Amino acid sequence: MPTLTLDKLWINLMADGTGISGASNRAKTRTVGTEASVRTYANGRQRGVTSVGTRRSNPYTLVAVGQATIDTLETWLGLSVMVRDNRGQKWIGLFAEMDISEYMRTDLYRVGFTLLGVTAAEGV
């Protein structure tokens, strides 16, 4: 019986489907929250003010990637992408910054980014 082993992180640009993949050492963490603040009104009364919706973010790290992959990711800053991890989970969002550091040799790099989830409709 064949076995499928998912050991990479796949990132696809939502606009045209262009994709990259690479080894990942993603920590299985994510952040979930909502927009909220406390406002002060007359006589010092304080009330909570929240927005409808949930904010989600997932940190990822690609390891042992070349400069061409970094250049591609740099052009995708602020654009909608779909990320699939080694567990088959799918997330749609954008990333606004990347952390780049050398990985073992000088011609390979470790690239970290946080995917900020967005609402996306799939289908026709």
Chunked mean pLDDT (size 10), the chain, 124 residues: 75 92 78 90 92 88 91 94 87 93 86 90 71
Nearest-angstrom CA–CA distance, 47 and 116: 28
pLDDT at res. 20: 93
CA atoms within 13 A on the CB side of 83: 27
Task: Give, in degrees to the nearest 5, the angle at Cα 100 between 95 and 101.
Answer: 155
State pTM to two decimals.
0.78
The full set of domain ranges for the chain reads: 8-117
Nearest-angstrom CA–CA distance, 31 and 80: 19
Q: Give me the residue label for tokens 């007359």.
A: 42
Q: Which helix (H) or strand (E) element contains residue 68? A: helix 67-75
Q: Which CATH architecture has domain 8-117?
A: Beta Barrel (2.40)
pLDDT at res. 39: 94
